[in-house]
Amino acid sequence: MAHHQVNGKIVVTTPTGRVGSRVLRLLLQAGARPTVLLRDPDKLDAATRERVDLVRGDQGDVEAVLEATRGADRLFWVDPPTPDEDPIAGHARMGANAARAVQENEIAHTVFLSSVGAEKRHGVGEIDGLARTEQALDATGANVLHLRCGYFFTNLLMDADSLREGVLSTTWPLDSAIPWVDPRDIGDVAAVRLLAGNWSGSVVQAVHGPKDLSFSQVAKVLGRALGRPVRAERVSDDQVRAALRSAGSSQGQVEGVVGMAAGMRENFVPEQERGVLTTTPTTLAAWAHAHLLPAL
């Protein structure tokens, strides 16, 4: 079968990540041959490896980012989790590499995985770093699309131990509803936007999942999916700080996590309203049944 490039050269970062892996699969299914930037090509299955152009490298290494994106028309950029003691600076460092690549390689369209809360710019913990990346990409003057995503269902996998005991703990007020989303559905939105490449300037699109849920509602949904009672329990920022510190997190990393909820749980209204363009289909119940139940 003859292969044609779909919409020029498309570069995908974090192709082994939750969102990036979905983006990559859909681009392959659309008939594209994407270029992927990743640290360890062996983490891709052999059938996928054959269908992509590989650049091995770290996103913190600007030369690797520039090499992967040379001649690119489209870029899917994720700020990867940073090992930096200050995660905000870490994200900003990664974002600066993305912006430099967009500028030097004249990449026409970039989709960036951002977060609800980035519109505040400051005071939302680690999300401040995503805001810095949004700003760096905006400053290039290229066409950039920021996907401001809700709270990933997959964050619940980090709470597996506590959920096994029937407790969902959070620093959010238990009855305040926020958007919860399956990262796979974010990959769907990112892939169609990359393929369409039909926007100009800087555009924000939110990805909100099927509905806003409070932690009390989430606990009920999980209880049904897991077949055992789960109760939501409010904990203080200091309790979370102590737990993260004892798990070895640096001061900056601790504040990066605590600051996300602290910056959004009082009087915060997301800039993007829920609507047809932001609502994605996978329900928490379906996700929990498929992914959380087997993990517990």
Ligand X SMILES: NC(=O)c1ccc[n+]([C@@H]2O[C@H](COP(=O)([O-])OP(=O)(O)OC[C@H]3O[C@@H](n4cnc5c(N)ncnc54)[C@H](OP(=O)(O)O)[C@@H]3O)[C@@H](O)[C@H]2O)c1
Q: In whole angstroms, how close is the CB of 4 to ligand X at the nearest point?
A: 28
Amino acid letter, residue 188? D
Pair of tokens at residue 167:
């407790």
Distance (Å, whole) CA 104 – CA 97: 10
Q: Is 25 in the site for ligand X (CB under 6 A)?
A: no
Q: Which residue from 111, 149, 206, 219 is in contact with ligand X, where contact means CB under 6 A? A: 149
255-260 long-range contacts, CB within 8 A, separation 24+: 255/125, 256/86, 256/87, 256/88, 256/125, 256/126, 256/129, 257/125, 257/126, 258/125, 258/171, 259/123, 259/124, 259/125, 259/126, 259/127, 259/128, 260/117, 260/124, 260/125, 260/126, 260/127
Distance (Å, whole) CA 53 – CA 8: 13
Q: Is 205 in the site for ligand X (CB under 6 A)?
A: no
- Nearer of residues 37 and 225 to ligand X, judged by Cβ: 37
Query: Which of 249, 293, 271 is CA-nearest to residue 87?
Result: 249
Could you tell me which residues come within 8 angstroms of residue 161 by beta carbon, excluding any fewer than 6 positions away?
none
- Nearer of residues 1 and 46 to ligand X, judged by Cβ: 46
- Nearer of residues 5 and 259 to ligand X, judged by Cβ: 259
Q: Which residue from 26, 102, 130, 244 is in contact with ligand X, where contact means CB under 6 A? A: 130
Q: Which residue from 1, 2, 40, 248 is in contact with ligand X, where contact means CB under 6 A? A: 40
- Nearer of residues 227 and 258 to ligand X, judged by Cβ: 258
Q: Is 59 in the site for ligand X (CB under 6 A)?
A: yes
- Nearer of residues 151 and 287 to ligand X, judged by Cβ: 151
- Nearer of residues 20 and 259 to ligand X, judged by Cβ: 20
Q: In whole angstroms, what separates CA 134 from the centre of its chain?
A: 13
# residues contacting ligand X (CB under 6 A): 25
Q: In whole angstroms, how close is the CB of 172 to ligand X at the nearest point?
A: 13
| Candidate ranges 151-159, 222-230, 251-259, 273-281; the one touching ligand X (CB under 6 A) | 151-159
Residues in contact with ligand X by the rule CB under 6 A: 14, 16-20, 38-40, 43, 58-60, 78-81, 113, 115, 130, 149, 151-152, 155, 183
